[in-house]
Structures are given as structure tokens and as C-alpha cells.
Amino acid sequence: MVRESKRVRLACASTLVLLAATAAQAQEAILLEEIIVTAQRRIENPMDVPLSITAISGDALDRAGIGTVDQAIRLIPNVSLDNNNSLRSGRVSIRGITSDVNNLGTEGSVAVSVDGVYQGRATTLNSDLIDLERVEVLRGPQGTLYGKNTTGGAINIITQRPAKAPEAAADIRFGNHDTRRYRATVSAPLGDIFALRASASVTRRDGLLTNSFQGRKVNDIDNETGRLTLEARPSEVVTIRLSADGSRDDGTGDSKSVLTLGGTVGGFAQAVGVPLTVPPLFDRVTAFDAPNNENRRTWGTAATIDWDTGEDTVTSITALRGFTFDNQSDNDFTPLSLVQSGLREKQHQFSQELRYVAAERDNFRYTAGLYYFHQILKGNQVASVGPHFSLLTGVMTGGALVVPAGSVAPAFVRTETDSYAAYAEGTYDLTEQFSLTAGLRYSHETKDVRHDQSKVNPLFVPLGFPPPIPVFTAGLKENNVSPKLTAQYRFSDDTMAYATVSRGFKGGGFSTGLINSAADTEFKSEKATNYELGLKSTLIPRRLNATLTGFYLDYKDLQVSTFVTNRFIVSNAASATSKGVELELEFKATQELLLQASAGYLDASYDDFTNAPCPAGSAARTCDLSGKRMLRAPEWTTTLTADYEREITAGINGYLRADYTYKSGQFFTLEQDPDLSQSGYGLVGGKAGLRFNDGAYELSVYAQNLFNRHYINGGGTGIPFSDTKGVTLGDPRLWGVEFKARF
């Protein structure tokens, strides 16, 4: 770990030296790619925006060979997304604050929007990315313009709009582990008023683990995604955009590799003739008897109307979205028939936003809007036991207690959320150099839950399982005011600094699934106050951009989700602090060479968390985690990338891309179990290819985790009393070839 950190620092220093040395060779024709963002609901250059934002264009994503959100945001400091090898367990972490939506009653700390439509459940975040214009990542609370669930930040995904002239593109990718990916996009005008754009993607890949007990591969990919957009311009000032998208995902899901076996289970397995072994972790061999399957279906429609008067713009976004998720998993991670569980989740949402963006008048410009969000979420969680569990309980209790095979512990839950908001944000230029921005958002939210745990078998209770609980209903109402104040000073056209204080909140809710008692389900809303200083400078016009940000985040009642004794629960830490620094550099060194570097330092810990959940097997009801580092909050994140392209001969260009990402050590559990942690590691990826006929055709080879670095990206404990632990492995070396055509 120490050697890796030294290499990272040396690589960063070398990059900075190269930036400075090459800067002396500046030529006016050497320019960075232009990119615009709409993070503040108006078109701007990110270097002019007084907030911590990183934008990655669709062309940059294409050059990097990036096809999913987690691959994109690994290039951004203090940001990570670990999907835990599951369609549902996407954990977004920004500045140490992790969005974990395993519990149906909680919501993410990072707001994810696609074309301005907020996604009520971030469980759909790890779908394929197709036909994108850009991805914007905003770090820190964004409560004024984005509303609730932005205590960590926001991720905006913007897709391509229909083109004014006919165009088409297709690409095919083949790789190891029988990877196959097919993508196609078609766009064309339909007369003078309408234009259409259609995109589709199909991805297949074999599993990366082998289940030796069943003799099959697990952790595979089977995805189909499509999007259709129709745009109309009935007049010079009105644009109407209708869109629809959908995806289908099937796979073998969250397949854990056994890390340690508890003595109880190990001895019992020998007695019943099922000897258990722990193979070398990165042999990528696991063994379990119960099915590990999951499937997800997502869909969405949206209608966006823009009325542009030439100065001001009125926008209406009306959207319907939904998804279903169904899984089965082996909870003991072994070939013993002990415990398995399943979850069925169904969600649908409706949202309506009406926004007014005023052009600048008398040195003043502002944005104001109204927002409504409605969501219904249903879940059915079931745990069942096999014949080995019955035998094991008899052995452990001397025959006093035997739970019959097939006994179930079901929990049914339905939550309904209504959220209303009004917001406004305005900027006034006091001088040509100095500006003040003030914003305010008022939110009113109601949430109702119906919970049914009445059919739980009471025989489970002495073994640490939750008891049967009669059907109950509960509700909460919350009001919140999220302010923002920013001061911005422009030293020149190329350099500006800002200072901001902003606040965000995340609504309270109810722990769902299997619970211990109705009285323990409700948790409070969390609030975050962000103090941030930033400096953005174009050191060489249109060639060298540098951004430096320092932040201090103060959290009250931080919501923390953890897995305790076969169930997810949410509790509130009294307070937590996250502070750090972020540096981003982008340099067009020559006409052929683009260099990028970023580094993030993070110090995130619980200040006061005396009522924290205890690890499985602990006799205590609560544990004190005050002063402990937050889970999934590495101290350092670093990226280095280089893109080189030059003409080989007339009409043929060759290119090479290399990237390096580093993440220091982190824990995957609240109690900081050293077995369920990962020391610092770095990953190298790359892509090389040829472009023919001025880019009309392209042939390339790519690699991810080029040196096959071994690492884990998640872990947890198995069933109660077993002491069994399992981890999910990071992807091994993935490589392949790709062909693209544009027409």
C-alpha cells in the first residue's frame, strides 16, 4: 500500500512537470475540447460555474471505451460507485457519503437525473450508457436547485438529441469471457418540424466466477437497452421533446466468494458429509447450492417542453418511470442447504417540474421553479431454510429446537411518498469582477408505510431472526428549507475564485424488510451543510485548465444503512464530518496529446455515533463508532490519463489511450472488520486503434485492469451464528476488440 502511494505521488509529480515543460511550446491551434454544462439550469462553461463539477463529454466517454456509469465516475476525485456485482446494489459515494438503497424505506444521498428527470431509486443507475451527450457530476449538497436527497451530490446524465441532418452509427465489441456488445443509433429529420433519434444496445458476458457445486458460471451480464426520442419545433420559440426508454437485465447476481468459515458451520459440515473448503480467493471459485438469480425491468417516458422567448426560457418536464426487480440469493455462501432469501421490488413514480430561467437584466439573472414528485414502492422479502438448517439448529440446541425445512420469514411493505417544492436562485453582479448568488428551496414531504411481518415463523426468533409483528401503518411529514449563498470573484477572464455555503437534506423514513419491532423502524431526516472554497483557472487559454477545491461538510443525523443479522437497518449517526481537497488538471499538450490528472484527499468520520448497529454475533444491542472512519471513504483517489492521436497517412489516424486510477484503503462494514476491507490499489486500462476515412470507421483493442490486479469491492457476513464471511471480487483483466462505423 505504501509503495503504491509513493508511485501515485511520483506519477502526479511527473505529470505536473510535463505540463509545465510542454506549456512553453504553446500554439494557438492547439485547443481543448469545448464542453458545456447545465448544472445551474442554464448553458455555461464548467470553468465559469462556481461549484465543484466535473463534466465528461460523450466523445471522451467514447475515447475511453466507457459503457457504464461506474466506469465513468471512477475518473472523478472523491467519487466512486460499487455495484457489488448486483443489479440492485449500486452504492454511489461522493466525499465519503454513500448512497445505499438496499432498504426500501431509505433513499439515496446522491440525486441521479436522466435528461432532467430525477430517478427515485438509484438501483437503476448501473444500466448501460448509450448515445450520451455528457455526464455531469456535482460534488457536495445541491439542495436549492436539485432538492432532497442531494446531501452527497448529484449526477446528471444527458442523452443525445435528434440531429438536424441524417446520421447513423453502429459498433460491435467482442472480448474475453465471451463478451459481446452490439450498439446502434439512427437519427433523422422528419420534414421541417419533426426529428427522430433511436438507440439500442445488447450486451452479453459469461460469469467471472465458477460455482463448483453447480458446475456453472455466475456473475454474468445479459442486458438489452433501448431509447426513442421524438422532437418537434412547431414554432421558432417552442420545442417539444418526447422520449421513451426501457431495459431488460438478467443475471446470476450478487455471488460472493467465501472469505472465512465459522467453526460452527465448518464442524457441522464435516458431520453431515459436506466438507467445506475455502479455495484461494482469486481463483474465482465459489460454491453454493441455492439459486442466485436476479432480473430487472425498467421503463420510462418523459415530455419536455421548452418555450424560449429569445431571452427567457420556460421549461416543463413531465415524466413517468418504473421498474421491477426480482432476486434469489444464497445467504450462507456454502453448498450447505441452510438459508436463502428473495426480494421482489416494484416501483413507479410521477414527477412534474415547471422552471423559469430569466436572462440577465441590469446585472441580475435568476432561476425559479416548482416541483412535484410521487412514488409508490412495494417490496416482498422472503427468507427460507433448508434441511441442513434444521439439522444444525438441532445440534446447536441439543434437540430442544428444530426449525422445519421450508419455514419462511416473509415481510411485505408498501411505501408512498409525495414531495412538493418551490425554489429560486439568483445572481447579481456587483461589479465586473464580483458576483453574489443566493438561493432557497422550500420542500414539503409526506411518507406513509404499511408493513406486514405477521407470517414470520416464531421458531426463528431464538436463533436471532426477527419476530412476527402484526400489520402496522405509520407516516411522517417533513418541511425543509435549503439555502445557498455564493460569492464569486473574477481575477481575469481566465481565473476566478468562489466561496459557498449550501445546505441539503435527505428525508426521513422507515426501515423495511425484516425488522425487530414497529417502534424501531422510523429514522430522522439527515441534513448537510457544506462550506467550500474553489479556484478555477485557464492557465493557458483553451489549453490548460486547473481546478482546486477545498470543502468542509457538517452532517447532522446522518442516515447509515448496514446489514445486521440477515436484515438491512437504518440508523442516524448524531453527527459526522467530511473534509478534503480536490485537484483537477486538463492539458492539451500538443495537437496530438491530451493529458488529464486528478487527485482527491478525504477525511470522513463519525463524530458522534453511540447508537450504531453492532456486528453480527455481538451480545450488545448498540455499539459506539464515534471517531471511526466512514465506510467506503478512501483517503486518496487519483487518476492519470493520456490520449494520443496522430495521422499515419492520408485518411488514417492512429490513437492510444492509457489511464491509471488509484484508490487507497477502505472498509466495507460500519464496524471496520479488517477481513471486510481493501487496502490501496491501482488499476491500469487502455485503448489503441485506427480511424479510417476521416473517422467514418474505427478498429480498436481495449483492456481494463490490464495487469489483472486483485481487489475486492464489497463484503458482508452470512447467516447468524455461523461467522461466515463473503466478499465480492473486483473484475479481473477484461480485454477485447471493437469495430465502429459512422454514416
Residue-wise pLDDT for 145-190, tens only, equals 998 888 989 999 999 999 989 999 999 999 999 999 999 999 999 9
The residue-averaged pLDDT of 57-63 equals: 85
pLDDT digits (tens, 9 = 90+) for 10-20: 455 455 445 44
Grid coordinates representing 36 are: 458545456
pLDDT tier at 21, thresholds 50, 70, 90: very low
> Between 85 and 623, where is the model more confident?
623
Contacts for 335 with CB less than 8 Å, ≥ 6 apart: 213, 274, 276, 287, 288, 289
- Rounded CA-CA distance 219/732 in Å is 12
> Between 306 and 24, where is the model more confident?
306
pLDDT digits (tens, 9 = 90+) for 686-714: 999 999 998 899 999 999 999 999 998 88
pLDDT tier at 123, thresholds 50, 70, 90: low
- Rounded CA-CA distance 587/702 in Å is 23
The count of structural domains within the chain is 1
Is the model's pLDDT at 738 over the cut of 70?
yes
DSSP classification of residue 463: G
DSSP classification of residue 88: S
Is the model's pLDDT at 73 over the cut of 70?
yes
Is the model's pLDDT at 1 over the cut of 70?
no
Q: Cα-flanking dihedrals φ and ψ of residue 280, to 5°?
A: -50, 130
pLDDT tier at 89, thresholds 50, 70, 90: low
> Between 426 and 126, where is the model more confident?
426
Is the model's pLDDT at 371 over the cut of 90?
yes
Is the model's pLDDT at 635 over the cut of 90?
yes
Specify the pLDDT at position 25: 45
- Rounded CA-CA distance 391/411 in Å is 25
Is the model's pLDDT at 262 over the cut of 70?
no
CA angle, residues 707, 12, 581, in degrees to nearest 5: 110
The residue-averaged pLDDT of 289-296 equals: 84
CATH number at residue 515: 2.40.170.20
Is the model's pLDDT at 24 over the cut of 50?
no
Is the model's pLDDT at 263 over the cut of 80?
no
Instruction: Kindly report the average pLDDT of the chain as a whole number.
Output: 86
Is the model's pLDDT at 674 over the cut of 50?
yes
Helix (H, G, I), strand (E, B) or coil at 733: coil
Residue type, 3: R
pLDDT tier at 85, thresholds 50, 70, 90: low
Is the model's pLDDT at 546 over the cut of 70?
yes
> Between 589 and 21, where is the model more confident?
589
Element (H, E) at 143: helix 143-146
Is the model's pLDDT at 298 over the cut of 90?
yes
Specify the pLDDT at position 100: 67
Is the model's pLDDT at 631 over the cut of 90?
no
Specify the pLDDT at position 218: 86
Neighbours of 280 (CB within 10 A): 8
- Rounded CA-CA distance 186/196 in Å is 8
Q: Residue 700's domain spans which residues? A: 2-742
The residue-averaged pLDDT of 646-654 equals: 93
The residue-averaged pLDDT of 238-260 equals: 85
Specify the pLDDT at position 214: 79
Q: Cα-flanking dihedrals φ and ψ of residue 76, to 5°?
A: -115, 135
> Between 306 and 458, where is the model more confident?
306
Specify the pLDDT at position 245: 94
DSSP string, 464-530: TPPPPEEEEEEEEEEEEEEEEEEEEEEEETTEEEEEEEEEEEE--EE--SS-S-GGG-EE--EEEEE
Distance of CA 251 to the CA centre of its chain: 19
The residue-averaged pLDDT of 199-226 equals: 90
DSSP string, 389-400: HHHHHHHHTTTS
Specify the pLDDT at position 126: 66
Specify the pLDDT at position 9: 46
**Of the candidate ranges 266-280, 417-431, 549-563, 580-594, the one whose mean pLDDT is the lowest:** 266-280
Specify the pLDDT at position 201: 95
The residue-averaged pLDDT of 377-388 equals: 87
**Of the candidate ranges 277-286, 346-355, 537-546, the one whose mean pLDDT is the lowest:** 277-286
DSSP string, 260-307: E--HHHHHHHHHTT-------GGG-EE--SS--EEEEEEEEEEEEEEE
pLDDT tier at 618, thresholds 50, 70, 90: low
